[in-house]
Amino acid sequence: MRDAVRWMTTLNAAASRAMLAANVHAATDVTGYGLLGHGHEMALASGVRLRIEAECVPRYPLALELLEAGICPGGTRANAAEHERFSDVAPSVRPSLRMLLSDAQSSGGLLIAVGPGDLQALLAGLREPDALGAVIGTVEEGAGIAVV
């Protein structure tokens, strides 16, 4: 049990330190409502559009293969149906990857918005043990989410 408690108290500790050092504009945990759902909430609150590069989103090995085999939680399917309202998905994005962006299963993943001048500082902080960072898109004028 001690290891579980340590994991729960350190899950986003490194990311928190990196965000504080990098002048982050906004952040949210991606839990339950999927990347697209939480991204839409951030974009809506900020009056912008998020452009997400689907292939840049980190994922577990075999995640897409499982989705392609039809293994998908009901919550993820419900999210995907809801996300269609505000997401413009390029035809080149395969259905399994589109579904993954609505995945209801997560633990500690963060969506972080930072200005271009502070991006390298954030990424450097996310290279710390227990953290992982990837640039998955940009912010642009407009509303909703574009997935390319």
* DSSP-assigned beta bridge partners for residue 13: none
Find the largest Cα–Cα distance for the chain.
47
What's the pLDDT score for residue 130?
A: 59
CATH code, 53: 3.90.650.10
pLDDT per position as a tens digit, 90-138: 999 999 999 999 999 876 789 999 999 999 999 988 886 656 788 999 9
Global pTM reads 0.88
Query: Strands 137-140 and 49-52, how do they pair?
Result: antiparallel
What's the pLDDT score for residue 132?
A: 72
pLDDT per position as a tens digit, 79-89: 999 999 999 99
Range 29-38 burial, b when 16+ CB lie within 10 A, else e: ebeebbbbbb
Number of domains in the chain: 1
Structural domain for 108, as ranges: 2-147
What's the pLDDT score for residue 126?
A: 86
